[in-house]
């Protein structure tokens, strides 16, 4: 009987994914709380033919250089891949893959959750109920901002941006978007060629672009100032798209009515000032966190890894 291929996995996966892995591979399982320096990752990957990683690990040039030569593929259990140095991977002859499509609906759902929570002040309302300070129904009590008829500006009209657009239209919002180029199937949303022009027309602004050197700090003091007074900012993409100093200042000054965030620069160590800002609704990076979606992501990561180990083209390659 031939030995099973060896697979290193940095974080625990949903049960069906782990069952599949353990049936077909010799699995070297990491753990959810481990910090992965290049040396720790290399140690886990000793003898492995492929590794499954997440955005929580920095797979930079040093980490790639430290990997044993047995590793042929890095399958990321995520759609985002800014945590992997693709040039270094390519130079080493490694294949790299991600998990697009399968998380589109779950992530778009969380964007809508944040839009509704931020505009209807759900976080502050929930805190009030827990603190037992609610004084009862009054006509002027705790008014939010209605989204019906409001303009939603989407930055990045990829799969998730489009899914958010369709959901928002069902809530009666008018959707505008900025993208490198217009999208053929844009659900009737209006393309805006310049980001600054989109910002000026966005009652609610939702970020759905990848994090790149060009998009880092896309929302900063200058760009936030272009939003209408009382706008709402939503981020389910990547934390460093937003400058925390500028966002916190805009929330405190009332320039923004509210924000809803699922992702943060430096997460999980978020800027502690957010905890004291009443008009920000905070979630712990759960955009794709449903049983169904995380299982589908894990399965797709395994499909990619398996394809490479069997000499086939991976279904969703990046490199």
Please list the active-site residues.
238, 267, 285
The one segment of 63-71, 74-82, 114-122, 247-255 that binds ligand DGY by CB under 6 A:
74-82
Residues 170/172/176/179 CA torsion (nearest 10 deg): -20
Q: Is 79 in the site for ligand DGY (CB under 6 A)?
A: yes
CB of 136 to ligand DGY, least distance (A): 40
**Nearer Cβ to ligand DGY, position 226 or 318?**
318
Q: Is 288 in the site for ligand DGY (CB under 6 A)?
A: yes
The one segment of 40-48, 57-65, 73-81, 264-272 that binds ligand DGY by CB under 6 A:
73-81
Draw the binding track, 16-55, toward ligand DGY (x: CB under 6 A; -: no contact). ---------------------------------------x
- How far is 282 from 252, CA to CA, in rounded Å? 15
Among 78, 201, 235, 304, binds ligand DGY (CB under 6 A): 78
Does residue 287 contact residue 236 with C-beta atoms inside 8 Å?
yes
CB of 83 to ligand DGY, least distance (A): 9
Q: Kind and range of the H or E element at 6?
A: strand 6-9
Among 71, 103, 218, 258, binds ligand DGY (CB under 6 A): 103
**Nearer Cβ to ligand DGY, position 49 or 304?**
304
Q: Is 100 in the site for ligand DGY (CB under 6 A)?
A: no
Q: Which two tokens stand for residue 200?
A: 């000026």
Draw the binding track, 245-274, toward ligand DGY (x: CB under 6 A; -: no contact). ------------------------------
Among 5, 30, 38, 80, binds ligand DGY (CB under 6 A): 80
Q: Is 298 in the site for ligand DGY (CB under 6 A)?
A: no
**Nearer Cβ to ligand DGY, position 71 or 106?**
106
Residue count of the chain: 319
CB of 267 to ligand DGY, least distance (A): 10
**74 three-class SS:** strand
CB of 294 to ligand DGY, least distance (A): 8
Closest CA to 288 of 175, 140, 160: 160
In sequence order, what DSSP letters do the residues of 156-223 get, joined into one string?
--SHHHHHHHHHHHHTT-EEEEE-SS--SS-TTPEE-SSHHHHHHT-SEEEE-PPP-TTTTT-B-HHH
**232 preceded by a cis bond (ω within 30 of 0):** no
Instruction: Give CA separation, 177 vs 12, 41, 162, 202, 224, in Å.
Output: 37, 40, 9, 9, 16
Helix pair 104-119, 291-309: axis angle to 10 deg = 150
Contacts with ligand DGY: how many residues (CB under 6 A)? 7
Residues at the contact surface with ligand DGY, assessed by CB under 6 A = 55, 78-80, 103, 287-288
């Amino acid at each position: 009987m031939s030995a099973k291929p060896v697979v290193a996995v940095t974080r625990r996966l949903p049960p069906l994914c782990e069952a599949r892995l353990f049936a077909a591979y010799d699995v070297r399982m990491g753990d959810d709380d481990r910090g992965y320096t290049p040396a720790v990752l290399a140690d886990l990957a000793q003898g492995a033919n492929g590794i499954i990683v997440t955005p929580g690990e920095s797979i930079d040039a040093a980490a790639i250089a430290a990997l044993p030569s047995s590793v042929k593929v890095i399958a990321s259990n995520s759609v985002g891949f800014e945590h992997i140095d693709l040039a270094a991977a390519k130079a080493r002859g490694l294949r790299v893959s991600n998990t697009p499509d399968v998380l589109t609906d779950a992530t778009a759902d969380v964007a809508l959750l944040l839009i509704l929570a931020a505009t209807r002040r759900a976080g502050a309302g929930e805190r009030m109920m827990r603190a037992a300070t609610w004084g009862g129904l009054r006509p002027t009590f705790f008014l939010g901002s209605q989204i019906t008829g409001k303009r939603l500006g989407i930055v990045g009209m990829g799969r998730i941006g489009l899914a958010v657009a369709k959901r928002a239209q069902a809530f009666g919002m008018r959707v505008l978007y900025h993208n490198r180029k217009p999208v053929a199937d844009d659900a009737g949303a209006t393309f805006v060629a310049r980001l600054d022009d989109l910002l000026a027309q966005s009652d609610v602004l939702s970020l759905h672009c990848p994090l790149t050197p060009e998009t880092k700090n896309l929302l900063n003091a200058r760009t936030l100032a272009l939003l209408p007074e009382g706008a709402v900012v939503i981020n389910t993409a990547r934390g460093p798209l937003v400058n925390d100093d500028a966002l916190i200042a805009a929330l405190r000054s009332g320039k923004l009515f509210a924000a809803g965030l699922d992702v943060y620069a430096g997460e999980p160590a978020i800027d502690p000032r957010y905890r004291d800002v009443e008009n920000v609704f905070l979630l712990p990076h759960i955009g794709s966190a449903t049983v169904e979606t995380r299982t589908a992501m894990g399965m797709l990561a395994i499909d990619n890894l398996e394809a490479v180990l069997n000499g086939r083209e991976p279904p969703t390659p990046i490199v």
